[in-house]
Amino acid sequence: MPFYGGNELSQVYDEALEEDFGLVASNVAEPDVAMGLMDGAASVDSDLLIQMSAGACRFAGNGDAEAGLRAMGNYIDTMAEQYDIGVFLNMDHQTDMDFIEMQIESDIPSSIMIDASHEDFEENIRQSKKVVDMIDEKDADILVEAELGQIKGVEDEIVAEEAFYTDPDDAVEFVDRTGADLLAISVGTQHGVAKGKDLELKPDLASEISETLADHGLEIPLVLHGTSGLQPAQVEDMMGRGICKMNKDTRYQYEYTRTLFDHYLDHKDEIVPPEGVEDQRDSFYNDTEWSPNKDHFDPRVGGRLVRERIEEVHADLAELSSSAGNSMFSK
């Protein structure tokens, strides 16, 4: 079935809040990871939230972010027809209002994350509310995620040298004044390569934020960014505290490269001339007895391996976040 819009995604989040599970929001920049994610989610009957950053859109569009979004959006929409799960697209860490306006007018995303967390409180509110208002004016079927607090690390082109935890009372004012549908909070996770044992996680703060919002009639899904380094016990501890969306990017990036690296290393002498054989790459080894083995250097071989590994990883993560078995759209 085709990927869905904000109304259907909102239904998934409502169910997640009620049943204490979360979607593993997974970043992509090219088709093999996207395909692996769809295979993985379908294998465990979980709905799927794919994400693209502005940088990923530029990569997919050969420098043109709008072209990249349209290309990957069409690809995801077409391929999602093969699966009996809900597939959604979130635009991750968006800061460029012109690009956000294009996203709204295209009606491609299911949700957009406006990231003004690096700004002061009032400016964060202003920018976040502006995106909500832009969507309302267009009557677009798109949810808005905003962020309050600051998560340490590097994500796409956004750099934060230190973390600032989210204050529960500030969260109430922020959600009330912006009208955001989801709130990304800072409770000790970290963007990029981070080890769970080194993080100063505050799961009780997530609970306090969720409960304080609910006490003011503002119960909305909470989001954790920078979760690639979290260990299973840490993820399980976060579920049931209002967290309904858990972002993963770095983990997939590593699995992509590591899968290809392992394959090429295992078959090195069939891809690269062994010692003693002249590297006649430009003539495609016309004057040597040795030849490369297409069974190992064909890009489709590596691509299939990447898809299979991403499928395994995402299926495991969906089990961990308890979204497995909870697709609202499976037949």
In a domain, 143, yes or no: yes
- Per-residue confidence (pLDDT) for residue 156, from 0 to 100: 52
**Mean pLDDT of the region 13-18:** 95
pLDDT, tens only, 65-84: 999 999 999 999 999 999 99
Q: Which two tokens stand for residue 193?
A: 């390569």
- Per-residue confidence (pLDDT) for residue 235, from 0 to 100: 81
The whole model's pTM is what?
0.91
With a CB cutoff of 8 Å and minimum separation 6, the contacts of 320 are 232, 235, 236
pLDDT, tens only, 83-117: 999 999 999 999 999 999 999 999 999 999 999 98
In a domain, 286, yes or no: no
pLDDT value at 157 more than 70: no
In a domain, 31, yes or no: yes
- Per-residue confidence (pLDDT) for residue 318, from 0 to 100: 96
pLDDT value at 194 more than 70: no
| Rg of the chain on CA atoms, in Å | 21
Work out the pLDDT band at 18, boundaries 50, 70, 90: very high
pLDDT value at 191 more than 60: no
**Backbone dihedral region for residue 139 (phi beyond 0: left; psi -120 to 50: alpha; all else: beta):** left
- Per-residue confidence (pLDDT) for residue 265, from 0 to 100: 96
In a domain, 196, yes or no: yes
Burial class (CB in 10 A: 0-12, 13-18, 19+), 130: middle
Q: What is the percentage of the chain residues whose pLDDT exceeds 90? A: 79
Contact 48, 33 (CB under 8 A): no
- Per-residue confidence (pLDDT) for residue 204, from 0 to 100: 87
- The larger pLDDT score, comparing residue 184 to residue 230, is at 184
pLDDT value at 301 more than 60: yes
* Residues of the domain holding 167: 6-250+314-321
- Per-residue confidence (pLDDT) for residue 230, from 0 to 100: 75
Q: Domain tally for the chain?
A: 1
Phi, psi of 84 (to 5 degrees): -100, 50
Residues involved in catalysis: 92
pLDDT value at 287 more than 50: yes
Q: What is the percentage of the chain residues whose pLDDT exceeds 70? A: 91
In a domain, 107, yes or no: yes
Angle at 164 between CA 236 and CA 51, to 5 degrees: 55
Burial class (CB in 10 A: 0-12, 13-18, 19+), 327: buried
- Per-residue confidence (pLDDT) for residue 151, from 0 to 100: 62
**Mean pLDDT of the region 272-291:** 91
In a domain, 106, yes or no: yes
Domain harbouring 87, CATH code:
3.20.20.70
- Per-residue confidence (pLDDT) for residue 114, from 0 to 100: 97
Contact 234, 255 (CB under 8 A): no
Burial class (CB in 10 A: 0-12, 13-18, 19+), 22: buried
